[in-house]
Amino acid sequence: MSLPNTDELIENFSFFDDWEDRYSYLIDLGEQLPPMDDALKVDLNFVKGCTSKVWMVGHFNYANQLELIADSDAKIVRGLIAVLVCIYSGKTKAEINDTNIKDIFAQLGLEAHLSPNRRNGFYAMVGRVEALAQS
């Protein structure tokens, strides 16, 4: 099973009436992430600002589309990483810069259900992606 695109992700989240179902779906998304090589889990790739351990690597391929690889030691954070992969992978720098991540996050219904620390960690990961798009 492949990860959904942004529109499919928003639609999938809209099917769930309660947070428990969204939480389960978020964890399922995280389980679909490909494994990250332990050799990439170094300080250079560590995302500061997250309560859990998060490593993220991204580069733009020959078509100038972002390829994002990331991992965490926490299931819910792996799910949030999967959300970012759904939203940003395959996008150009211009598309990333035009993405209204706060709007998408609100449409997913995650804003009200994540702790402030998890939200801050999510936006720290967003910051890493946005920095890649600026480089």
Residues annotated as catalytic (active site), given as ranges: 50
> How does 47-62 read in b/e, with b if 16+ C-beta sit within 10 Å?
beebebebbbbbebee
CB atoms within 10 A of CB 6: 16
